[in-house]
Amino acid sequence: MTTPSSVEVGPPSTADAAGRVRPRRAGLWAAVRATRPHQWPKNALVLAAPVAAGSWGPRAHGWLDCVAAGAAFVAASCAVYLVNDVVDVERDRRHPRKRLRPVASGALSEPMALAAAAAAVVAMLGAEAFVDATWFSAALTLYLVLSIFYSLGLKQVPVLEMGLVSSGFVLRGLGGAAATHIVPSVPFTVVTALGALVVVLEKRSSECADLKQAAAAHRPVLASYDLRTLRRAARASSVIVVAAYACWAATRSVVLAPHFPLLSVFPLGGALWTFHRRLAVHPDRSVEDVLTRDGTMIAWEVSWLALFALSAWP
* pLDDT beyond 70 at 198: yes
Q: Which of 184, 215, 247 finishes a domain?
A: 184
Per residue in 237-258, pLDDT (tens digit) is 999 999 999 988 888 766 556 6
Catalogue the long-range contacts made by 280-288 (C-beta closer than 8 Å, 24 or more residues apart): 280/231, 283/205, 283/206, 283/209, 283/210, 284/206, 284/209, 284/210, 285/206, 286/203, 286/206, 287/199, 287/202, 287/203, 287/206, 288/38, 288/39
> Any idea of the CA torsion for 193, 197, 199, 200, to the nearest 10 degrees?
130
**Do 167 and 228 belong together in one domain?**
no
> CA torsion angle for 265, 159, 204, 121 (degrees, to 10)?
90
Q: For residue 23, with 0-12 CB atoms within 10 Å meaning exposed, 13-18 middle and 19 or more buried, which class applies?
A: exposed
- Overall number of domains in the chain: 2
Indicate if the alpha-carbon torsion angle 47, 49, 51, 52 is positive or negative.
positive
- The reply to whether 146 and 189 lie within a common domain is no
Final residue in a domain of this structure, among 150, 184, 218? 184
CB 180 within 8 A of CB 57: yes
Quote the pLDDT of residue 5.
42
Whether residues 173 and 207 fall in one domain = no
pLDDT tens per residue, range 20-51: 445 567 778 888 999 998 888 889 999 988 88
pLDDT of residue 256: 55
Same domain for 124 and 89, yes or no, is yes
Q: Does residue 223 belong to any structural domain of this protein?
A: yes
Per residue in 104-157, pLDDT (tens digit) is 998 999 999 999 999 999 999 999 999 988 999 999 999 999 999 999 989 999
Q: Is residue 14 part of a domain?
A: no
Answer whether residue 91 is part of any domain. Answer: yes
Res. 286 pLDDT band, cuts 50 70 90: confident
**Is residue 57 domain-resident?**
yes
121 & 190 share domain: no
Residue ranges making up the domain that contains 238:
185-314
- pLDDT of 13 > 60? The answer is no
Q: Is 235 in the same domain as 121? A: no
What pLDDT score does 257 carry? 61
Checking if the pLDDT of 214 tops 90, the result is no
CATH number (domain holding residue 153) = 1.10.357.140
Four-CA torsion 207, 210, 213, 219, nearest 10 degrees: -20
Q: Are residues 144 and 230 in the same domain?
A: no
**For the chain, what is the mean pLDDT?**
85
User: Is residue 229 domain-shared with residue 99, that is, in the same domain?
Assistant: no
Residue by residue, DSSP assigns 175-186 as HHHHHTT----H
pLDDT at 56: 84
Q: Tell which wins on pLDDT, 10 or 271.
A: 271
Q: Does residue 109 share a domain with residue 200?
A: no
Same domain (yes/no): 149, 189: no
User: Which one of 158, 184, 210 terminates a domain?
Assistant: 184
Regarding whether 248 and 169 lie in a shared domain, the answer is no
User: How large is the average pLDDT for residues 261-286?
Assistant: 90
Q: Which amino acid is at 175?
A: G
Between CA 117 and CA 84 the distance in angstroms is: 10
